Amino acid sequence: MPFSRSFSLFIFFTCILAFPLWSQHKTGVLTRKYAPQVLQNDAALFRDVVFAMHPAVGIYKTKSFYHKLFADYIDSLQDSLTEKEFRIKTKLVAEEIRCGHTEVIFSSEYSRAIKKEKLNYSPYVFLPVQNKVYVIANLNKQADSTLKKGMEITKINKVAVDSMQRYCKRFISADGFNTTSKDHYLQLGFNGYFTSLFGRPDTFEVEYKEGKILKTLKYAAFKQKDFPPIPLGTNDDSLFTRYKRARMRFRFLEPDHKTMLLKIEKFSRKSSDKAYRKIFRNLRKNNSENLVLDLRNNGGGSLENSYRLLSYLIDSSKTQTLRTSIKNYPFKKYTKGNIAFKLTRFAFFVIGKKIAKNDTDYFVYTIKPRHKNHFDKKLYVLINGGSFSASCLVAAYLKDGKRATFVGEETGGAIEGCNAGITPYYKLPNTKIKLRVPAFRVINDVCPAITGHGIQADYKIEYTIKDLLAKRDLTLLKTRELILLDNAR
């Protein structure tokens, strides 16, 4: 599906690797270098935390693989590096953990400094689509307008765009061996990624296609603090009824109220109970026959919220298991929130059943279908690479028993579960870089096998650059077509 995100989300991804190479003449935190022994000490703490608590170690790759990975990583730190250079190395190690909830974040001091800088960007906005790159906008209205919307770009600053994309994806963490998640976030952040990794010159040079002819264009960089959201996505629909605190909205697609579209942007911890009561009561009162549940670009959120939604949709009781091998955070002097972790363990114990095996605790929660306003008619679920964490939990349980028809593309999160529950941030003692490390393995009991992939769509949808520029919602259009076919049978 075409999508748009808030500026704050865009900044998260563009700042993943962000400081321009052209600013090396400046002094301070942005160019400060750390001695090899100092970096090795920070890297060793990263290693020790991962082996002490990360629930993904040994799932997608063996423990021996990670022992060698970290040994090589630490051994490679033989030269002084800036925080950015060290973080790039650390990000590449974190990506090998195969966990979308694991992140390596700049120090607070570095983040504050980078926000004060005006950075060089290309005034032309580029969009990766199916391994190619296209022009979708021009930020500088006074700049050269040779490159039109929809033109294909083959090289940027003499680097082939397919090579750029492959390299950028290495810095995007994903669950298992998923690729749609990397594609999704690369689309969101490509204009920040390629400049951060390949340089921010004063003049850009691009090779582009005009028909079948390759041409080259040079133009000045566009300097600004803030990069605007990518201009994609369907226009906002005023017909939606919104529950802002619950981060969800719905509308009926036809005047007869037979089909409802329910868009859940995030599994919010606020007001979801009240919103679901109203929505599912509305479905019952209108005797609606179809529910279209839109989980595209839903990055997750509250487990409680996701369980609540499932209770209105599943046909029989299902269990979900959370496991952890720690009772307290290891290396507590480098993190905060141990009390919150213990309270979370206690909460899982209260609402579920605790099973202890060796040094590991399993908390089993039963999701029960509710009788009042339960929806047991036709269900269609819209998914894409931005469907992650709790939205994958919901999708996995609806996939079980063929409860729903799925339209879109493979979810960004794995069908067997993820690593989440609660995710503390560890601050490395020297560089002050922060590491986000999950404390629980969230196991979807409906899929006991380890696949490393997400929930697959029954009807796969692919978008071309023309579809995106025209703001066509092919996923919803296909779903409406399926509803008409099902009703005709």
What pLDDT score was predicted for residue 176? 96
Q: Given the DSSP bridges, would you call strands 213-220 and 203-210 parallel, antiparallel or unpaired?
A: antiparallel
State whether residue 67 is helix, strand or coil.
Answer: helix
Q: Please give the model's pTM, rounded to 2 decimal places.
A: 0.91
CATH for 241-317+368-415+451-488 is 3.90.226.10
Please report, rounded to a whole number, the percentage of residues in the chain having pLDDT higher than 90.
82
Report the pLDDT averaged over residues 431-438: 97
Q: Under DSSP, is residue 420 helix (H, G, I), strand (E, B) or coil?
A: strand
pLDDT tens figures, 189-217: 999 889 889 989 999 999 999 999 999 99
CA distances from 175 to 102, 107, 143, 182, 389 (A): 9, 25, 41, 10, 9
User: What integer pLDDT is reported at residue 272 of this predicted model?
Assistant: 93
Residue-wise pLDDT for 240-278, tens only, equals 999 999 999 999 999 999 999 999 999 999 999 999 999
Cα atoms in the Cβ-side hemisphere of radius 13 Å centred on 436: 16
How does 346-372 read in b/e, with b if 16+ C-beta sit within 10 Å? eebeeebeeeeeeeebbbbbebeeeee
CA dist 361 and 340 (Å) reads: 17
The average confidence (pLDDT) of the chain is 91
Q: Please tell me the number of Cα atoms within 13 Å of 459 on its side-chain side.
A: 17
Q: Look at residue 23 and tell me whether its pLDDT is greater than 80.
A: no
> For 446-458, what is the mean pLDDT?
95
**Residue 376: how many CA atoms within 13 Å on its side-chain side?**
8
Q: Which residue has the higher pLDDT, 68 or 231?
A: 68
The mean per-residue pLDDT over the stretch 220-238 comes to: 78
Rounded Cα distance between 130 and 464, Å, is 8
For residue 53, the surrounding DSSP H or E stretch is helix 36-53
For tokens 């950015």, the residue is 84
**Residue 13 pLDDT exceeds 60:** no
In 10 A of CB 439, how many CB atoms? 23
Domain boundaries defined on the chain: 7-115, 119-224, 241-317+368-415+451-488
Comparing 72-76, 120-124, 152-156, 380-384, which segment has the lowest mean pLDDT? 120-124
pLDDT at 99 over 50: yes
Contact by Cβ (8 Å): 68, 44: no
Closest to 191 measured CA to CA, from 261, 259, 143, 119: 119
Rounded to the nearest angstrom, the gap between the alpha carbon of residue 414 and the centroid of all alpha carbons in its chain is: 12
- Note the pLDDT tens digit of each residue in 302-353: 999 999 999 999 999 999 999 999 999 999 999 999 999 999 999 999 999 9
**Rounded-to-5 percentages of helix, strand, coil across the chain:** 35, 25, 40
pLDDT at 227: 74
Tokens 């599906």 correspond to: 1
| Whole-number Å distance between alpha carbons of 433 and 209 | 42
Q: Which of residues 23 and 177 earns the better pLDDT score?
A: 177
The CATH code of the domain at 119-224 is 2.30.42.10
- Whether 241-317+368-415+451-488 and 119-224 are alike in CATH topology: the answer is no
Q: Is the pLDDT of residue 15 over 90?
A: no
CB-based contact 171:16 (threshold 8 Å):
yes
